[in-house]
Structure 1
Amino acid sequence: MASRKRGRAMEATPGAAAASSGWELLTQPRIIVAGLALAVLLFYYQPLFSAAASIQWDAVDVQYSPQKYLSDMLHAGKAPFWTPYVFSGAPFLADPQVGAWYPLNWPFFLIGITPRAIEWQLALHALLAALGGYLLGRDLLRSRAGAVIAGIFFAFSGLFAETSSHVGPFQATAWLPVLLWAGRRAARETRWLPVLALCSGCLVLTGHFQTALYSFFALAVFLAVDFAVTRGAWVRYLAALACAAVAAATLPAVMVLPGLELTGESLRAGADYSRDAGAALTPGALATLVFPNHYSALGPEPYQGPQDITQFYLYMGLLLLPLAAVGLMAGRERWYGVVLAVAGAWYAFGPSGGLYSAIAMLPGFHSVRAPIQMWFVAALGLALLAGAGVGWVRARIRSPWIPLALAAVIGFDLYYWNMDRNPLAFARESFQDRYGTNQDRFQTVVAPLTREPLHRIYAPFATPAFGPLNGTLDSRIEVTFGYNPLELSRYHNYMEAAKGNARLLNGLGVTAIVDPSKGSLQPNAARLARIYAPESMSAVRTKEEAIARLATLDPAREAVVEGGDAIPQNGGATVQITAYEGDSYRARYQSAHPTLLRIAVPYYPGWQAEVDGHALPVVPVDLALMGVVAPAGSHELTVRYKPSRFAAGAAISVAAWLGALAWLWWGWRTGARAGSKRASL
């Protein structure tokens, strides 16, 4: 009998050894990376390759149209610091939402932006999220299988499904686990500090300030937990936080400095959401963690949740909470997931939870709204807890088939609900059917009216009936409308006043008017020239006084200038525009006296004027537009846009990137030398 037992043991040994050998092969880092890449490719196969799939909503309006315009302009050899194709003209590269300076977008700009290219950006960042979750889990958890599954839970969660139409937040969210991984390593070894710096810079360069701010908050919380758990050197943790902060301010300075200037001139200037928080986490939204169609976001019934359907779908799989509950027994590593989950969810509840109001007192936090957007921090915490749960199970059941089966079940579950059946992830029709047909129709209708180089078409609002809401960037049609929360506040007030005073449209140089209620497009015979001398110029002291004057202003007869002296007899000048390039004008004028030349272009810092090569100040006219008080005689006026903060921001960024890369090279070279010396001993 004993011999039979020994025989069975000997027979079992080769099988067990083979299974162990196979498991070791599967858990090699390169195999895990390849497996996650394959998983992402399969997960995103439909939106990447199906002809009946398309990006939608803000992915089209905020990312595709601006990025396509940027790519086209760069291929033409021009940097579009200013664009004339939305809002009668607006700063373009100053807008962080474009993602112009984000390194992972550059290959797409080089290849050329298409709707499918935006989907590839999403897939690339899903892979980044999965790899980041794995790397972070590998350092925190005792199980490689748990680390992989933590990455799967995070990268394929409902959070990314609902954010698929918001590319900037999607990209920034994907950096969170990488940031925490680099931060923890930087708090242990100095050579990881430049890695943390580069991660911090890239996170900010995605262009979504709110997600970046929340990510750095999560980094501070995470490092505090790590310090409490490991009792490391507090100086190193402070150094890591300082490194992240400095890098976040300097590496993306080329975007941050112009972006701050634009924000200060936009509708978001001085925003304070400490009390009016907007979208916050609800108990019903928490129910979607395990019941994906709780709000009928997936149909077929009408959506029944809070207003924004793209913020309240959180499904992370049926096995998430059971595994997370098991993870609570996993020892010290559980605290990372617990604290991230609690902090993220607590803040996401908004003012009613208390934490939101307390944190709103910190710099920057009162300027952001919709606390539900902090949920991604909680989602990563739950993913880490579930990974810890897998590790706990793996320590007690050694069979490699258990984690493989868990990964397969979790992956299929998340794919079915968060991609295959999920209308938030992508549109179930082609881009041409959803957007292109309307855009083509609009271009055809307005074509006869756009042959004039200085055309400008008015509509009371951007509408999908014209195609993408910023589609005029693609078609190069100058319009008065657009879609952007950073619309210039002066211009916005002017256009609001124009709803009650149509003469303001004449002063804006509108050449054609769209009336959506009648479905008509009519030429505007009463339009004024893009540059002209009004009959008189009056002066006001403040912007508020200028706003008050708009209700009754007739731009043909009078211009209102902030500051300066009035010119009662301003008219009589003749003006002929001789050159126009979208961001510059050249005109010949003749006047018997000094005269205000009113220029129907939105006023914004960076516009410069010269008369015969001599600089003249540009002043705000009629609140939103600009003008130049030109000397008497026959002269040439040149007006061009030159961004006021780009050069300083670019210089800081170049110096910071060179410094960070040199630091990275030096740190790893020094580390490699030290390692070789230890090996030789």
Structure 2
Amino acid sequence: MSDETPVTDDPSTQSPKPSPKPSSEPSSSVWTKIRVGLKPPAEQSIDDATDGWGLAPTRGTPREHLVAAVWFVMVAAVFLAPLFGGKSFSVVGSRQTDVYPWTAQDGPPQVPAQFDSADLSYPWQLQLQAALDEGTLPFWSPDVFSGGAPLYANGTSGQLYPPRLIAAMAPERWAHDLYVAFHLVAGGLVTYLLCREFKRSALAAVIAGTAWMLGSFNLGWVHLEVVTSMLVALPLGPLLVHRMWRRKTMGSVVATAAGFAVMIISGHLLWQLLGWLIALLYAAALGLTSAVRSWRSGDRSDAWGHLWRPPVAFGLGGALSAVVLVPTLVNLTQTPRKAFPVDLLKAFETPAATFTSEFVVGPSFTTMTTGVMNYHLAFVGTVVALLAVVGFFSRRPGSALARTIMIVTAGVATVGWLGRLAYDLVPGMDVFYPYGRLAGWFALGAVLAAALGFDLLVELVQRRWPTAAAGRWAMAAPVAGVSICVLTVAQLVPLGHNLNPPFQPRDDAHWFPDTPLIREARKLQQDAPGAGRLAPIVLDHVKWTEGGPAILRSNHAAAVGLDSTSGYDSTLPLPAAQTLRYLGGMPVKQVLSDPLVGAFVTNLEVGVTNYAALRSQGVTAVVTVPEIDPNDPRLAPLRPYEVAYSGPDGNLLRLGNAAGVISVRDDLKVLNTDAAVFEALPLASSPNAPIFTSAAAVADSDLSEATIASRNDEAAKQGSRTSAKVTDQGINSIVVDVRSAGPAWLLVGANDAPGWTADIDGVSVPIVRANHNHMAVPIDGPGRVEFHYRPPGLLSGLVITLVALALCAGLLVAERARRRLMA
């Protein structure tokens, strides 16, 4: 994809340029620069046509960059104008109209296509803010999936991403708005700098930056914080790569590595890796072609430099991000998500119109849906699209990159032979779907081509009418460029507002407020012996992508401080996902054999839920949508229970004979298989029932079946009364006070996962997976049992990152010393 030739910024190596004709105006005048820049081709080189507002001889000045930055701030302010009127760019208020208990008072349902922002990002933001208040990070998400799931290493939360950390320090209801505003401005500015890197004119670069930040894909997806950073990451990759190739310095290598590291930790790991694949391939293309050219010219040193710099930069970037990357990769090996089958490719086919007619006139839709988000958002403005068509056929620096991005992404998205090739050969493309999301990548190529197209048209006008660039026509190009920017803003801002739910008031009523049901449920959990857990039950055949009627869906319960079986994430412990499928009525054989494709969300339907096993998961109460009668015969297997609350926002059923999340048991039975454990879960539901585990789980622990049998015998002989109480529930820890006169087992309803450790009064004790997905530890009497979670690989990743930082510093110091010696 390289159409570059070696360039240098050293004036001594460039051919002399003709001096501009004298002007009667002051030389410092912007208008003088414009007129001088647009003088006839006979008096200047077309490649170096103007100083800033035509075809640029430089990559811009600080003053030009500042003007561009101010423009992008103004454009972002136009799009986010309702913020200045006391509203918020949030989907929480719209999403709660579709989910009980809030839909009872907020209907009719709106079902925003960007509901992930409310289901994932907002609860995670609250956890991050709470953890920062405690002086830590939320390594674990404790209130989801019937016992929690890894958060720091889930590959999407991006907790160490600097803009996320800074936004999390803002007030709760401003964090998302500030995060979005930053990325809009930064995305426009980085795209502008990328165009300037290719020596595009200032106006052409501003046009491209404006179209990129307001493009339909970016504004359609900007709510989803797991991918918001792609606004910056996609143009940043080629910018840093080209700059490294051009400057050939160790500083540019380190800068590329740092940029790669920051973006890899910013959000959705798969999206970031696919985004940086473009940068990696671009680096390879530039490096190899330049190395061959240098080798043929006899400059072997320069050739080797072009070959070693890209792999060093990307390898060093991976090492810098290791503090996140290593624990994430370790965690991904423990999760149930699998590749989708190849026969689904056809179902993911993107209409060709997305990259043809809709690319020119914009997407046509009456209601914003996930289908529109996934398949129809390549539009970057009509005028910009036409400029992109012109620039597509250019042969100037950057054109091959733009063409390659557009052709490849459109080809893969429309699932022709390129789509199948990507599925087979590109890592991650058998998990990334639908391919229509590549419209965002296509849009980047389009705005780069548009910048080329604008400058090419200016050149053509200058060539065709040399005298038209002087006198009263001298302002034609700048006026045309500014007009295109204004027209693009006027076209894309309303479309962006239409793509998103309405801005919501910044008041309590639109941020998952407490309702009578929530208050009663919270009270039940706090009062339950051994803590408690909720199980939300919905009507039959309610799918999570279709909206309501649902109740405390996804991570909504966690957002309001309730521990529940519900949850929503792309990664979670495999035993937890299997148990929740079993609770949802799936046969045991299918539970243990079927892979999970895509994100996982718990769905417990009234007619098929395995009620007999609910109590084994620490469930002490059930909430149902109000459409389900509390005395519905289908709920009979739940008995004994009492109706603690019934209202328009839902029903709350308190379960009798429920042990809760924490309990002490005398017997840990080892069964042959995990399937046998599932079949025994109904027997594990009462406070005095045995705990069940499998031979495989024991083999994975530091216990033996003989040790377990011996302890069971001792506990049976003692027959002592025991109790346990949670005294401290942290984000990454659980502290339990146990009162026991002899040997027993402490059952903790937190999902077993690598990274958990336990100790009693400071002495480490082994953990065994219990009741398929929870944890049990042996106890010998009264004591304080502490459980702590740290992501596996965190320490080793931190060490690698620190070593990489030291190496970067050393490389920069060494280069500076070398320059001093050569000076």
Q: Same fold (TM over 0.5)?
A: yes
Aligned-residue sequence identity (percent) comes to 19
1:492-515 deviation line (CA, Å, top 9, x unaligned) = 221232244323221222222101
TM-score normalized by the length of structure 2: 0.72
Aligned to 2:776: 627
**Which amino acid in structure 1 is aligned with residue 315 of structure 2?**
V
* Alignment partner, residue 164 of structure 1: 222
Q: Is 1:246 aligned with 2:315?
A: yes
TM-score, structure 1 as length reference: 0.86
- Counterparts in 2 of 1:306 and 1:67: CA distance versus 1, 3 Å: closer
Aligned counterpart in structure 1 of residue 151 of structure 2, from 89, 92, 109: 92
8 Å Cα contact 2:233-2:272 kept in structure 1 = no
Q: Could you tell me which amino acid in structure 2 is paired with residue 51 of structure 1? A: G
The superposition leaves residues 591-632 of structure 1 with CA deviations (integer Å, 9 ceiling, x where unpaired) of 65x54432222111122223454322211111111112344x
| Aligned: 1:481 with 2:542 | no
Q: Which residue in 1 is equivalent to 2:753?
A: 604
Aligned to 2:406: 341
Who is 1:652 aligned against?
Answer: 800
Partner residue in 1 for 2:635: none
Q: Which stretch shifts more, 58-67 or 221-230?
A: 221-230
Counterparts of 2:681 and 2:154, CA distance in 1: 28
Question: Contact 1:315/1:418 (CA < 8 Å) preserved in 2?
Answer: no
1:506 and 2:615 correspond = yes
Deviation string 1:166-201 (CA, Å, 9 cap, x unpaired) is 222120342222211111222341231001001100
Q: Within the alignment, does 1:214 sit opposite 2:323 as a pair?
A: no
Partner of 2:377: 313
What is the aligned partner in structure 1 of residue 789 from structure 2?
641
Task: State the secondary structure of the residue aligned to 2:371.
Answer: coil
* Counterpart Cα distance in 2 of 1:367 and 1:540: 35
State how 1:173-188 maps to structure 2 within 5 Å.
173-188=231-246
What is the identity, as a one-letter code, of the residue corresponding to 1:41?
A: A
Structure-1 residue corresponding to 2:67: 34
- CA drift at 1:381: 1.3
Cα pair distance change 1:357/1:533, threshold 3 Å: farther
8 Å contact from structure 2 (residues 213, 219) kept in 1: no
Q: Which residue of 2 aligns with 1:3?
A: none
Q: Is the 8 A contact 1:290 1:318 kept in 2?
A: yes
Give the aligned partner of residue 525 of structure 1: 656
Question: 1:206: how far off?
Answer: 0.8
Asked if the contact 1:48–1:120 (Cα under 8 Å) also holds between the matched residues in 2, the reply is no
State the SS of the aligned residue for 2:738. Answer: strand
Unaligned runs of 5+ in 1: 1-9
Counterpart CA distance in 2 for 1:664 and 1:434 is 53
Alignment of 1:183-582 (within 5 A): 183-188=241-246, 189-191=248-250, 192-227=252-287, 231=293, 235-268=304-337, 270-272=338-340, 276-277=344-345, 279-286=348-355, 287-294=357-364, 296=365, 299=366, 302=367, 307=371, 309=373, 311-333=375-397, 334-350=399-415, 352-358=416-422, 360-395=424-459, 396-397=461-462, 398=469, 399-419=474-494, 422-430=497-505, 432=507, 435-436=510-511, 438-439=513-514, 443-452=518-527, 454-460=531-537, 469-499=554-584, 500-516=609-625, 517-518=627-628, 519-534=650-665, 536-547=667-678, 549-550=680-681, 554=685, 556=687, 557-563=689-695, 564=698, 565=705, 567=709, 572=719, 574-577=722-725, 579-582=727-730
Residue by residue over 1:1-25, the C-alpha shift from the partner in whole angstroms, topping out at 9 and shown as x without a partner, is: xxxxxxxxx9996599872336758
Contact 2:321 2:801 in 1 (8 A): yes
CA distance in 2 between partners of 1:661 and 1:48 (Å): 41
**Residue by residue, what CA displacement relative to the aligned partner does 1:471-506 show, whole Å, maximum 9, x if unpaired?**
444433222212222233321221232244323221
Matched residue pairs, number?
Answer: 655
How far apart, CA to CA, are the structure 2 residues paired with 1:328 and 1:529? 64
CA distance in structure 1 between the aligned counterparts of 2:429 and 2:496, rounded to whole angstroms? 35
Cα distance in 2 between the residues matched to 1:416 and 1:208: 30
Give distance in 1, aligned partners of 2:414 and 2:725: 56
The answer to whether the 8 A contact 1:438-1:467 is kept is: no
Return the alpha-carbon distance in structure 1 between the equivalents of residues 327 and 666 of structure 2.
Answer: 36
- Shift of the alpha carbon at 1:364? 3.9
8 Å contact from structure 1 (residues 310, 424) kept in 2: no
Which segment is superposed worse, 56-65 or 220-229? 220-229
User: CA 1:643/1:421 → structure 2, altered by over 3 Å: closer, same or farther?
Assistant: closer
Structure 2 residue ranges without an equivalent (≥5): 1-20, 36-50, 54-59, 92-114, 295-301, 463-468, 539-543, 585-608, 629-649, 699-704
2:737 pairs with one of 574, 578, 587: 587
Q: Is the 8 A contact 2:537 2:551 kept in 1?
A: no
- What is the alpha-carbon distance in structure 2 between the residues aligned to residue 664 and residue 242 of structure 1? 17
SS of structure 1 residue aligned to 2:788: strand
For structure 1, which segment, 52-61 or 516-525, has the greater mean C-alpha deviation from structure 2 after superposition?
52-61
One-letter code aligned to 1:484: D
- 1:362 Cα offset (Å): 4.0
Contact 2:189 2:209 in 1 (8 A): yes
Change (3 A) 1:11 1:234: closer
Alpha carbons 1:497, 1:551 under 8 Å: kept: no
Q: Is the 8 A contact 2:116 2:224 kept in 1?
A: yes
Amino acid corresponding to residue 90 of structure 2 in structure 1: I
Distance in 1 separating the partners of 2:686 and 2:204: 68
Residue identity opposite 1:34 in structure 2 = V
- CA shift in 2, pair 1:641/1:437, >3 Å: closer
Q: Return closer, same or farther for 1:252/1:382 CA change in 2, 3 Å cut-off.
A: same
The RMSD of aligned alpha carbons is 3.4
How far did residue 535 of structure 1 move? Answer: 6.0
**Residue type of the partner of 1:490?**
P
* Distance in 2 between residues matched to 1:81 and 1:228, nearest whole Å: 42
> Does 1:51 pair with 2:109?
no
- The 1:338–1:344 alpha-carbon spacing in structure 2 relative to 1, beyond 3 Å, is same
Instruction: Give the 3-state SS of the residue equivalent to 2:360 in structure 1.
Output: coil
**In structure 2, do the counterparts of structure 1 residues 46 and 376 end up closer, same or farther at CA, with 3 Å as the change threshold?**
same
Matched to 2:690, the amino acid is: E
Partner SS, residue 480 of structure 1: coil
Structure 2 distance, partners of 1:661, 1:408, is 46
1:307–1:328 CA distance, 2 compared to 1 (3 A): closer
CA distance in 2, matches of 1:546, 1:54: 47
Inter-partner Cα distance in structure 2 for 1:122 and 1:478 = 29
Q: Does the C-alpha gap of structure 1 residues 323 and 612 become closer, same or farther in structure 2, counting only changes over 3 Å?
A: closer
State the Cα deviation string for residues 349-390 of structure 1 (Å, max 9, x = none). Answer: 23x343443453344443333222333322211111111111
Question: In the superposition, relative to structure 1, how do residues 283 and 330 fare at CA in structure 2: closer, same or farther (>3 Å)?
Answer: closer
| Alpha-carbon shift at residue 126 of structure 1 (Å) | 1.9
The 1:21/1:417 distance shift into structure 2, 3 A limit, reads: closer
The CA distance in 2 between the partners of 1:416 and 1:434, in whole Å, is: 33
Specify the code of the residue in structure 2 equivalent to 1:514: V
- Residues 520 and 359 from structure 1, CA distance in 2 versus in 1: closer, same or farther, beyond 3 angstroms? closer
CA distance 1:145–1:358, shift in 2 (3 Å):
same
Which residue matches 1:6?
A: none
Is the CA contact (8 Å cut-off) linking 1:59 and 1:164 kept in structure 2?
no
